[in-house]
Structure 1
């Protein structure tokens, strides 16, 4: 079984290298980033299981980076900070961090917290891992492996693009995706402002899965923002 991958984000090379040594000694795979911007770039194309994220960094600090990461991803984040005030800790946790350590820290304690967070994350997501090929939202049934979609037990036929859009929204229930984000995630190309391709596809999906496409039950419009499938 492959070991988890931990992303270390800190503008201090000594910290990055120190944490990497301890992680590798425990058998983890590691990635390193010097800034929050670098970390976001890595997360665009690499699967990461946990992030060790420094707060005080140039360009984009850890709080900003954490907020951006939480827009799309839910892996554990442990924040590091040279500040020890309670308010800094509260701010870090409010923005989506799972744990917080103050510099200087004991590397062995950090390893213990990393292991704890990964165990907790796996336990909370075990149902997701087991049912990853099947998504159900009320009477909507989606089989990822077979590209089968059913409403009230009746199969509906979607094109590959329509299926990919539906899968994206269904996998991330409650999350709002802009037209631009949907296009870039599904078509894997840069979005052009005048392109109405996504809206056309959403309309076609609704015609196939909604009893009344004018009052959609599944794919909701968040005006001025984008689309979502609710929890």
Structure 2
């Protein structure tokens, strides 16, 4: 049974979410602020977090940034704010999905199931290109001589490109696959991640990310 940590300072929201999750056979932990959530994560196994943005002591953005420094689990951010800038901040902090209050609890459960499925599938996958290994479970790219630690989105991006060497992906395809179709940020987000990713994989000369002018990117392996 998967354990979901619900982090929200509103007890009524927590109760509602808990009811629907438990009816869907999930185990639920609760925290009323980010600091208590960190304490729970440190001492309990958590498979996914549902995080409210506006909370006392530590808000959802700060909590997500802290969690992403040492733990790779799906995070669904929930907030009363629907402005694009809040979504951008959430995704930049490392959230996997975003839901705006008031939300349909049934949709929330569906998104939780989708995130867990995507996460569990990704953790079972390792791509091997010659002596280069891309591992989503450890967020690393490695060879016999060297191992480089990647950030979550960097590793997901590399994994997607490496899954079909030589195939070109548009920026839109990459955005929708890795950030979700509801992502309202700029497509330049992809360019920024590609730039950082290229720097990180420099030690692995057999793997190259090529820019397709006016289209997107592809990975080449030699």
Secondary structure of the residue aligned to 2:58 is coil
Mapping of residues 90-105 of structure 1, within 5 Å: 90-105=88-103
Secondary structure of the residue aligned to 1:111 is helix
CA distance in 2, matches of 1:39, 1:121: 21
1:139 matched to 2:137: no
1:52 matched to 2:57: no
**Aligned partner of 2:78 among 77, 80, 88:** 80
Rate the CA distance shift 1:136–1:65 in 2: closer, same or farther, 3 A: closer
CA distance in 2, matches of 1:121, 1:20: 21
User: What TM-score comes out, normalization by structure 2 length?
Assistant: 0.59
Mapping of residues 13-92 of structure 1, within 5 Å: 13-92=11-90
Tell me if structure 1 keeps the 8 A contact 2:34–2:63. Answer: yes
Unaligned runs of 5+ in 2: 127-136, 152-202, 204-222
Secondary structure of the residue aligned to 1:72 is coil
Tell me if structure 1 keeps the 8 A contact 2:141–2:150. Answer: no
Q: CA deviation at 1:137?
A: 4.9
CA distance in 2, matches of 1:58, 1:41: 15
Secondary structure of the residue aligned to 1:68 is helix
Tell me if structure 1 keeps the 8 A contact 2:7–2:31. Answer: yes
Q: Deviations over 1:135-177 (max 9, x none)?
A: 995337xxxxxxxxxxxxxxxxxxxxxxxxxxxxx8x9458xx
CA distance in 2, matches of 1:109, 1:6: 16
Number of residue-to-residue matches in the alignment: 142
Q: CA deviation at 1:45?
A: 1.4
Mapping of residues 113-192 of structure 1, within 5 Å: 113-127=111-125, 137-139=142-144, 173-174=149-150
User: What TM-score comes out, normalization by structure 1 length?
Assistant: 0.56
Secondary structure of the residue aligned to 2:125 is helix
Deviation >4 Å, runs of 4+: none
Secondary structure of the residue aligned to 2:63 is helix
Larger radius of gyration: 1
Rate the CA distance shift 1:138–1:60 in 2: closer, same or farther, 3 A: same
Rate the CA distance shift 1:13–1:124 in 2: closer, same or farther, 3 A: same
